[in-house]
């Protein structure tokens, strides 16, 4: 962007960013949610309590094993379709409290999830004696059972694929699958079962959501599937949070009276996530996962976003033996989780976008296509440390919409930062100059910023770490009065990662490996600025 630096800051930022309406502005304060609990003396009673909280009546109930998860993993979309709560029982006998709940609901139909070997005569005899009609959805194994549930649902153009040997991924996607009534199919890590293959062909989905990383669902078995998109994190908690972000961007929000709501369940066992997932799908409400005594940084970040700029009501599912008082206090804001950036709001600003390509390299690459992946990677890193991240754009669009002008675009970005009282602002760019030999990394701050000394310090830390990661020529920290770093009220910098006008650096800037290193460098610089 060097040419535009010479010409002035307005040209530098032509059409930079977009703010997705679904990513609601949130305050810079730590998470301070209202908290309540739904729990019983055991998993069966907890499921009953969930049913009582969500359903005054139901004609159908889904009944699953309380001690084994495979046949119930895919049941949340069917629960939503039938408006049916999911109840639990052990296979040795029908729990009398479950029968009472079925009768309270006025249900005259029970669907057993799993074959006779999963829930057999002790259960069906009890239902017969109570005069309750029942049917069974159960195949030879969990994969065939999932296919049978998918057949009952039918196709909607989308299919979900998750590992059937573990429970977290399938249950994390449950509320989204339920809200959209999208079938969930199961697979082994490295082999796609025949029943799943057959059902995928029947569904003829144009989009396939794969939940879990390569270790859960190998890319070898997704070859040939259409429109594959993978949702995953480094663990089950990060995967559940990534599902939340995906859902935020892809589900229309139903206006509600009162404050936003979310469910928090343990990620260490399946029953609470299963039954709460059904209620979350019914209410179009997020579901997050936590360990007994800790809340991961990425979960904390996602829950801050879920406040919608106001309060949040979090319902913890399970007693303190499942989710401790310490976790509840982290959610309530009494204590901060032990994550590096908990409570910080950071604006990540991938340069250009929409009608503005930014600088164009000698081989025709666009700056806007290079900055976005860096911004998305940086957002993930910051969220993993507990920061609340506001992306100025997460796709190739402009914030001004139909009222797009250069100045409106600039003002939108500044307003986004100032109105949200962000703690830091980082804008990501590629430099450009008429001499193709010019190269290197530069970080800018504004001496006219109301916090110029802090911006300079932030710039120095980021410059040092980015140069260390990328290995390009160090052009040092410099001052420039670009609109967004001059008019934002928090420490703000603009990072020029390299010169897109330099043929060698152009190739690097469009490389996924280089982009990840750039994000890591900026992240390390932010941590250094925060004293880590």
Cβ atoms within 10 Å of 362's Cβ, excluding its own:
11
Question: CA torsion 362→365→370→373, rounded to 10°?
Answer: -150
Please report which confidence band the pLDDT of residue 258 belongs to, taking 50, 70 and 90 as the band edges. Answer: low
β pairing state of 345-350 and 388-391: parallel
Task: Give the closest residue to 4 by CA, choosing from 449, 350, 444.
Answer: 444
Domains in the chain: ranges and CATH = 2-25+344-529 (3.40.630.40), 34-332 (no CATH)
pLDDT digits (tens, 9 = 90+) for 407-442: 888 889 899 999 999 999 999 999 999 999 999 999
Angle 307-235-164 from CA coordinates, rounded to 5°: 105
Please report which confidence band the pLDDT of residue 27 belongs to, taking 50, 70 and 90 as the band edges. Answer: very low
Contact predicate 508/501, CB 8 Å: no
Cα 9 to Cα 117, 351, 368, 513, distances in angstroms: 70, 13, 17, 30
- Separation of alpha carbons 457 and 479, rounded Å: 12
Cα 197 to Cα 144, 215, 225, distances in angstroms: 10, 19, 10
Angle 234-340-330 from CA coordinates, rounded to 5°: 85
Please report which confidence band the pLDDT of residue 504 belongs to, taking 50, 70 and 90 as the band edges. Answer: very high
Give 47's contacts (C-beta < 8 A, 6+ positions apart).
Answer: 40, 66, 85, 86, 87, 88, 271, 275
496 is catalytic: yes
More confident residue, 387 or 251: 387
Please report which confidence band the pLDDT of residue 123 belongs to, taking 50, 70 and 90 as the band edges. Answer: very high
Task: Give the closest residue to 186 by CA, choosing from 167, 165, 164, 154.
Answer: 164
Q: What is the pLDDT of residue 309?
A: 65
pLDDT digits (tens, 9 = 90+) for 299-351: 998 998 888 767 899 999 999 999 999 999 999 988 888 888 988 999 999 99
- Separation of alpha carbons 113 and 360, rounded Å: 57
Residue 513 structure tokens:
């490996």
Residue 267 structure tokens:
């990620």
- Judge whether residue 29 has pLDDT over 90: no
Q: What is the pLDDT of residue 25?
A: 34
- Edge-to-edge strand list for the sheet holding 207-211: 184-187, 158-163, 207-211, 228-231
Residue 426 φ then ψ, to 5°: -130, 120
Task: Give the closest residue to 341 by CA, choosing from 379, 288, 313.
Answer: 379
Name the catalytic one among 367, 465, 496, 505.
496
């Amino acid at each position: 962007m060097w040419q535009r630096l010479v010409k002035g800051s307005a040209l530098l930022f032509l059409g930079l960013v977009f703010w997705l309406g679904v990513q609601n502005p949130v305050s810079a304060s730590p998470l301070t949610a209202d908290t309540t609990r739904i729990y019983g003396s055991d998993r069966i009673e907890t499921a009953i309590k969930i049913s009582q909280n969500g359903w005054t009546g139901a004609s159908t109930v889904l009944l699953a094993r309380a001690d084994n998860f495979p046949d119930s993993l895919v049941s949340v979309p069917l629960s939503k379709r039938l408006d049916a709560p999911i109840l639990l029982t052990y296979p040795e006998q029908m729990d009398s409290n479950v029968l009472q709940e079925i009768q309270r609901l006025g249900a005259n139909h029970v669907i057993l999830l799993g074959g006779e070997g999963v829930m057999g005569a002790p259960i069906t005899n009890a239902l017969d004696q109570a005069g309750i009609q029942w049917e069974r959805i159960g195949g030879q194994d969990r994969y065939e059972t999932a296919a049978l549930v998918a057949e009952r649902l039918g196709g909607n153009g989308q299919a979900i694929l998750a590992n059937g040997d573990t429970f977290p991924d399938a249950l994390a996607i449950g509320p989204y699958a339920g809200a959209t009534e999208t079938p969930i199919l199961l697979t082994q890590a490295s082999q796609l079962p025949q029943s799943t293959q057959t059902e995928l062909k029947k569904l003829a989905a144009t989009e396939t959501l794969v939940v879990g990383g390569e270790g859960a669902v190998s890319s070898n078995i997704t070859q040939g599937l259409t429109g594959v998109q993978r949702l995953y994190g480094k663990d089950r908690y990060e995967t559940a949070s990534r599902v939340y972000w995906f859902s935020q961007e892809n589900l229309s929000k139903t206006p509600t009276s009162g404050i936003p709501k979310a469910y928090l369940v343990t990620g260490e066992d399946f029953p609470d996530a299963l039954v709460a997932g059904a209620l979350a799908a019914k209410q179009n409400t997020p579901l997050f996962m936590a360990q007994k005594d800790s809340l991961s940084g990425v979960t904390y970040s996602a829950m801050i976003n879920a406040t919608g700029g106001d309060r949040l009501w979090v319902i913890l599912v399970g007693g303190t033996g499942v989710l401790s008082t310490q976790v509840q206090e982290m959610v309530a804001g009494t204590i901060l989780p032990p994550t590096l950036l908990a409570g910080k709001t950071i604006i990540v600003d991938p340069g250009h976008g929409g009608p503005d390509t930014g600088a164009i390299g000698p081989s025709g690459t666009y700056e806007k296509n290079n900055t976005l992946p860096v911004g998305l990677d940086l957002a993930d890193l910051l969220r993993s440390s507990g920061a609340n991240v506001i992306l100025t754009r997460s796709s190739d669009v402009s914030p001004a919409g139909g009222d797009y002008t250069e100045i409106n675009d600039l003002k939108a970005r500044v307003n986004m930062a100032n109105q949200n009282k962000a703690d830091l602002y980082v804008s990501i760019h590629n430099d450009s100059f008429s001499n193709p030999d010019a190269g290197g990394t530069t970080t800018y701050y504004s001496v006219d910023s109301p916090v110029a000394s802090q911006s300079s310090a932030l710039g120095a830390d980021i410059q040092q770490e980015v140069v260390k990661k990328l290995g390009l020529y160090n052009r040092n920290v410099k001052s420039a009065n670009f609109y967004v770093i001059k008019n934002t009220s928090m420490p703000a910098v603009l990072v020029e990662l390299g010169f897109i006008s330099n043929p060698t650096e152009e190739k690097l800037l469009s490389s996924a490996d280089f982009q990840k290193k750039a994000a890591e460098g900026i992240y390390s610089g932010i941590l250094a600025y925060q004293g880590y």
